[in-house]
Amino acid sequence: MKKFNFLIVLVGLSAALAITVHATSIDLRKIESIFNKFNLQRYEYSEKGNLRIEKFKSNVPLSEFTSEFDQRIVIVVLGKKTIVDRPKVEPLVPEQILSKIHSKRPEKYNGWTLSTDEIIYAAQGQVPGFMVDCTVAGKMFKNDYVTVSECYSLDKKKEFLKILSAFH
């Protein structure tokens, strides 16, 4: 009888551990390996309610020839359902933004729904200058809703889409 009780406890603990580790359908190691392929390293991980939030960035050293705009920052949020106010990448230097235009219709890409804000920074004299797009993409994977967000210069959209394509 003791052997049977021990076996039940052992099976129960194993099941609890499996449920804890595999509570979501997307494995954290898989996400990290996706981003490592794009030379992005995780620099922050947190949980907020049922949300897992992972932040990745490139290792571009700042110099006299680079700025914070050269650093890629991507945020991935995983949860059980669509949540409107998920954390996302915010544009850099908000005090210098001249205008922010939200796309009227979401764009579709390989099952992802993309919502984009066009950010125009002010140049000297408050005239339009540097432009970036800040995109939030969302897609349901089995039990998880995943959002990926990044602000990028207009010529870098393909790199963002490559990240989305790496999820399957």
Number of CB atoms found within 10 A of residue 93's CB: 13
Name the residue with higher pLDDT: 60 or 44.
44
Is the domain spanning 28-167 CATH 2.60.120? The answer is yes
Q: What is the arithmetic mean of pLDDT over 26-42?
A: 85
User: DSSP character for 168?
Assistant: -
* pLDDT of 95 strictly over 60: yes
Q: Is this structure's pTM higher than 0.85? A: no
Distances from the Cα of 133 to the Cαs of 5, 12, 30, 50, 65, in angstroms? 59, 49, 27, 28, 22
Say what the pLDDT of residue 108 is.
Answer: 95
* pLDDT of 46 strictly over 50: yes
- State how far the Cα of 109 lies from the Cα of 64, in Å rounded to an integer: 37
Picking from 143, 144, 150, the residue whose alpha carbon sits closest to that of residue 164 is 150
Long-range contacts, 29-35 (Cβ 8 Å, 24+)? 31/76, 31/78, 34/163, 34/166, 34/167, 35/74, 35/76, 35/163
Q: What is the arithmetic mean of pLDDT over 55-76?
A: 83
* pLDDT of 115 strictly over 80: yes
* pLDDT of 19 strictly over 70: no
- By the 8 A CB rule, do 56 and 74 touch? yes
- State how far the Cα of 28 lies from the Cα of 56, in Å rounded to an integer: 13
Say what the pLDDT of residue 84 is.
Answer: 52
Please give the angle made by the CA atoms of 133, 46 and 29, to the nearest 5 degrees.
Answer: 85
Name the residue with higher pLDDT: 127 or 159.
159
Name the residue with higher pLDDT: 125 or 115.
115
Q: What is the DSSP string of 60-121?
A: ----TT--GGGS-EEEEEEESS--TT---PPPS-GGGEEEEEE-SS-EEETTEEEEEEEEEE
Share of the chain above pLDDT 90, in %: 43
* pLDDT of 8 strictly over 60: no
Write down the mean pLDDT value for the chain.
79
* pLDDT of 4 strictly over 50: no
Q: What are phi and psi of 117, to 5 degrees?
A: -110, 130
